[in-house]
A and B are shown apart, each in its own frame.
Chain A
């Protein structure tokens, strides 16, 4: 790559994109490069570094709303929020362990890649907390969509389309979020030594009970974990109900606040696997009840190290003793259940022949292609990054 533009404001982003358009030069959008390793390799002629678009423009804790430049570092924003006892409810993960990055990334990257942590089961994903966006599309035009209020159905919900678009539709400059109070305390109920299929049943029972489970994970051959959050007396009461409900499954243990926080941050940041940098890492989303079955199928053909989050609906998986990423073995098992597998990490060699994103049906591919075309007709923004989805 030759040149990297580093605009200091929105107007300069417009100029850079217009320049790229006029010169038919594709651009790679970057924030802090924390997730640069994910996604298909691209051929671009220049870079667009959005990390100087910083600054909180609006933070009203009592209105549960925060707006900030897309280049703000997530860690800085999380600190601002924590000072007021608030947080992003979807628990944005920090992939520095997996990807070897130095930071947990920028807000723009968080929204563009759309990864949610353990609280996904209760609070929703990134998409559910983005209220409004200002962006420059591949047409070199600034546009805004959404707003700063949670209840808003005025026009199409384009913030949803931009969330998870991996920079292929528009360069986001400013993002408005719904933020929420941080739970006062938490505790985790652990069930010891369940087989994977039993663990799915236990998590399903917990998530279906009136105790407001905020996260449910299973670490094979170890523990099945269900987290409860809220005010202290409520957490204590709910732990008791959950114990009664789940005691038939096996031996129980309760993790107090600090241990609970530590365990869930490891799960969120995927620090339970992936030490060996050359091993491919997959993130697989399936219907929760199918989790154990899917993993068992995969294990018939390849050796893996894996754990479950989202009540079984999310499988983090490390491929062991292979020089390939094994896309066929993995994707083959989820065609029947629905869902997708994303290749989060691979070496150049092991990635060969494995699409990073799950190939989609032909109609979806066609629609995605038309959407891409409507925002970025010349294909100058991150072209090919989401290839295989129709982008």
Chain B
């Protein structure tokens, strides 16, 4: 096992990255020239001043300058770059728009940063098969925009949708506020073109609904750039619902809000979105955008219902009455699009709103079984007091995905480290109550070292061997997802007891 070494250029936190390959560093000039031969023109960026823009992603606490940045324009170039890196044992970090919140696109000092930004075209809109074929650099919103004229949209809607790329969405299996009803990225992808680290190009799926053989589409989605580089994506598009209305409901406690969500689901109602905010988040958002949120409540729930008008109107009534039986102190229903968007305005601005009241904040992303919310909130409040750090909570209440935002000041020595420790404790708590470390932001470098909290060594080895099946040399995005680098040959070995085992004592025929 190779332990990670602490990188010297890590400007803030003490993150360990894979030990730098010295040979690669000393061959830097040659590698740059070779890459320029594959990708001519301005595609290879090697000056510090220009590479600076790529030194971190959405998890800005971590920074690292790459060996070199390459921005290919064709699949053939991607293939040749990867083949070259494979042959020369050079590491590669794929990058979309760089909005990852888990450090998935954090560069490596000895790694080529492969940016997919120039792959920004919609290749085909196919209304007959209700799908769009796009290059990976197209933004998430770009897909919806391309089909808006005919009333269609692409369902998964991460808050970063104006900026994040569909390729990055595939890599992270991104979600959004409509996941409970419309699924995550993985439930909306039909086909992929992927370039393997060897340079081989593979077509997975297509416009048909189900593929045979092992579900590589499912495996690639959420693989965080460790298995291959996505160069083409086919996603399913949906017709926009006829109407959407939202309810804004205030509760005296998060327990009541949580019970309301459970009751709505028990009644067989699958809302398009159910979002909860705690007192802290409500106040910050209201101060920022004046959405008209009630300030005398402990928890605020936004419930969105969509579909034909009769259905939406009927469900608005039903959910309102469920809310009232759960002690709701205020219930408002949107009566037009403007009101609906206004209900959402505060929630959508929750992160920047927190950003206004604190020099820095750290966004967590665990998922819990929904009914554990009250316990988790209570223990989180205790931890907040213990660490002396404030937390605001926004919560995808329909699916149990929580986003605690820890407020801190990076200029106070030691506060970032304390924040990270606090964050780690929150995620451990999520796992303890039956949940998971990450609901939609990915493991990346951020949660890498917590993986053993959720998985045994054997569990992790079964995952790591999958990586070996795609990338035996471990060149694609190493240092992400798994707590330790590993040797594929060693991991593949089997330890079978020497002689033949006697027949086990198991019922048989």
**Smallest CB separation, A369 vs chain B (Å):** 9
Does A252 reach chain B (CB closer than 8 Å)? no
Assess whether A161 is in contact with B311, with CB atoms less than 8 Å apart.
no
> With a CB–CB cut-off of 8 A, which chain B residues contact A363?
196, 200-202
Given A125-B209, A212-B307, A374-B469, residue A289 in contact with residue B184 (CB < 8 A): no
Assess whether A160 is in contact with B218, with CB atoms less than 8 Å apart.
yes
Interface residue tally for chain A (C-beta within 8 Å): 107
Does B414 reach chain A (CB closer than 8 Å)? no
Does A195 reach chain B (CB closer than 8 Å)? no
Complex CA gap A116/B187 in Å reads 14
Complex CA gap A156/B407 in Å reads 30
Given A127-B215, A156-B219, A364-B216, residue A234 in contact with residue B314 (CB < 8 A): yes
Does B434 reach chain A (CB closer than 8 Å)? yes
**Smallest CB separation, A118 vs chain B (Å):** 12
Complex CA gap A337/B370 in Å reads 43
> With a CB–CB cut-off of 8 A, which chain B residues contact A21?
494, 496
Complex CA gap A149/B210 in Å reads 24
Assess whether B209 is in contact with A151, with CB atoms less than 8 Å apart.
no
**Smallest CB separation, A30 vs chain B (Å):** 11
Does A377 reach chain B (CB closer than 8 Å)? yes
> With a CB–CB cut-off of 8 A, which chain A residues contact B212?
164, 285, 340, 342, 357-358, 360, 389
**Smallest CB separation, B427 vs chain A (Å):** 10
Does A361 reach chain B (CB closer than 8 Å)? yes
Say whether chain B's binding surface is mostly helix, strand, loop, or mixed.
Answer: loop
**Smallest CB separation, A325 vs chain B (Å):** 16
Complex CA gap A211/B151 in Å reads 13
**Smallest CB separation, B339 vs chain A (Å):** 21
Complex CA gap A182/B269 in Å reads 10
Does A5 reach chain B (CB closer than 8 Å)? yes
**Smallest CB separation, B113 vs chain A (Å):** 22
**Smallest CB separation, B307 vs chain A (Å):** 6
Does A81 reach chain B (CB closer than 8 Å)? no
Does A218 reach chain B (CB closer than 8 Å)? no
Give the residue among B206, B212, B401 with the most A Cβ atoms within 10 A.
B212
Does B41 reach chain A (CB closer than 8 Å)? no
Query: Which of A55-63, A295-303, A316-324 lies at the interface?
Result: A55-63
Does A237 reach chain B (CB closer than 8 Å)? yes
Residue of B200, B208, B454, B466 near A338 (CB, 8 A) is B208
> With a CB–CB cut-off of 8 A, which chain A residues contact B459?
143-145
Chain A 113-163 residues near chain B, CB threshold 8 A: 114, 116, 120-121, 124-125, 127-128, 137, 139, 141-145, 147-158, 160-161, 163
Assess whether A155 is in contact with B463, with CB atoms less than 8 Å apart.
yes
Closest to A159 in B: B218
How many of chain B's residues touch chain A, expressed as a range?
35 or more
Assess whether A120 is in contact with B210, with CB atoms less than 8 Å apart.
yes
> With a CB–CB cut-off of 8 A, which chain A residues contact B172?
153
**Smallest CB separation, A211 vs chain B (Å):** 7
Assess whether A151 is in contact with B179, with CB atoms less than 8 Å apart.
yes
Assess whether A210 is in contact with B437, with CB atoms less than 8 Å apart.
no
> With a CB–CB cut-off of 8 A, which chain B residues contact A339?
206, 208
Assess whether A147 is in contact with B435, with CB atoms less than 8 Å apart.
yes
Complex CA gap A212/B182 in Å reads 12
Given A62-B262, A154-B438, A371-B466, residue A6 in contact with residue B507 (CB < 8 A): yes
Assess whether B436 is in contact with A149, with CB atoms less than 8 Å apart.
yes
Closest to B208 in A: A339
Give the residue among B401, B439, B462 with the most A Cβ atoms within 10 A.
B462
Assess whether B186 is in contact with A160, with CB atoms less than 8 Å apart.
yes
Assess whether B469 is in contact with A157, with CB atoms less than 8 Å apart.
no
> With a CB–CB cut-off of 8 A, which chain A residues contact B183?
124, 128
**Smallest CB separation, A31 vs chain B (Å):** 15
Residue of A8, A12, A181, A360 near B270 (CB, 8 A) is A181
Assess whether B469 is in contact with A210, with CB atoms less than 8 Å apart.
no
Does A238 reach chain B (CB closer than 8 Å)? yes
**Smallest CB separation, A76 vs chain B (Å):** 21
Chain B 394-411 residues near chain A, CB threshold 8 A: 396, 399-401
Assess whether A364 is in contact with B213, with CB atoms less than 8 Å apart.
yes
Given A21-B496, A234-B311, A361-B202, residue A374 in contact with residue B465 (CB < 8 A): yes
Assess whether A116 is in contact with B500, with CB atoms less than 8 Å apart.
no
Does B428 reach chain A (CB closer than 8 Å)? no
Complex CA gap A289/B209 in Å reads 12
Does B222 reach chain A (CB closer than 8 Å)? yes
Complex CA gap A215/B481 in Å reads 39
Contact with B along A200-211 (1 / 0, CB 8 A): 000010011111
Does B368 reach chain A (CB closer than 8 Å)? yes
Assess whether B219 is in contact with A7, with CB atoms less than 8 Å apart.
no
**Smallest CB separation, A349 vs chain B (Å):** 24
Given A6-B508, A386-B213, residue A149 in contact with residue B435 (CB < 8 A): yes
Complex CA gap A184/B314 in Å reads 14
Complex CA gap A364/B201 in Å reads 10
Given A361-B203, A367-B202, residue A62 in contact with residue B463 (CB < 8 A): no
Given A154-B437, A374-B465, residue A210 in contact with residue B209 (CB < 8 A): no
Contact with A along B201-240 (1 / 0, CB 8 A): 1111011111111111111011100000000000000011
Closest to A9 in B: B506
Assess whether B151 is in contact with A210, with CB atoms less than 8 Å apart.
yes
**Smallest CB separation, A232 vs chain B (Å):** 9
Chain B 261-296 residues near chain A, CB threshold 8 A: 262-263, 265-266, 268-270
> With a CB–CB cut-off of 8 A, which chain A residues contact B307?
212, 230, 234
Assess whether B209 is in contact with A12, with CB atoms less than 8 Å apart.
no
Complex CA gap A149/B504 in Å reads 36
Does A288 reach chain B (CB closer than 8 Å)? yes
Contact with A along B287-311 (1 / 0, CB 8 A): 0000000000000000000011111
Residue of A4, A142, A152, A287 near B509 (CB, 8 A) is A4
Given A23-B500, A210-B242, residue A310 in contact with residue B466 (CB < 8 A): no
Assess whether B466 is in contact with A158, with CB atoms less than 8 Å apart.
yes
**Smallest CB separation, B226 vs chain A (Å):** 8
Question: A-B pairs with the 6 shortest C-beta distances?
Answer: A160-B218, A181-B268, A234-B311, A151-B439, A338-B206, A389-B213
Could you name 9 residue pairs across A and B whose Cβ atoms are closer than 8 Å? Answer: A7-B506, A8-B507, A145-B463, A149-B436, A157-B218, A158-B219, A234-B310, A285-B212, A288-B130
Interface residues of B (CB under 8 A from A): 126-130, 151-152, 172-173, 175, 179-180, 183-184, 186-187, 196, 200-204, 206-219, 221-223, 239-242, 262-263, 265-266, 268-270, 307-311, 314-315, 367-371, 396, 399-401, 434-443, 447, 451, 454-456, 458-463, 465-470, 481, 492, 494, 496-497, 499-501, 503-509
Interface residues of A (CB under 8 A from B): 3-8, 12, 15-16, 18-19, 21-23, 49, 52, 60-65, 85, 114, 116, 120-121, 124-125, 127-128, 137, 139, 141-145, 147-158, 160-161, 163-165, 169, 180-182, 184, 204, 207-212, 230-231, 233-234, 236-238, 241, 285-289, 310, 313-314, 337-340, 342, 357-358, 360-361, 363-364, 367-368, 370-371, 373-375, 377-378, 386, 389-391
List 19 other contacts, CB 8 Å, given A5-B508, A85-B268, A363-B202.
Answer: A6-B506, A8-B507, A60-B369, A63-B400, A147-B454, A150-B184, A151-B396, A154-B451, A155-B460, A157-B219, A180-B270, A181-B268, A233-B314, A236-B310, A237-B310, A287-B129, A288-B129, A288-B207, A374-B492
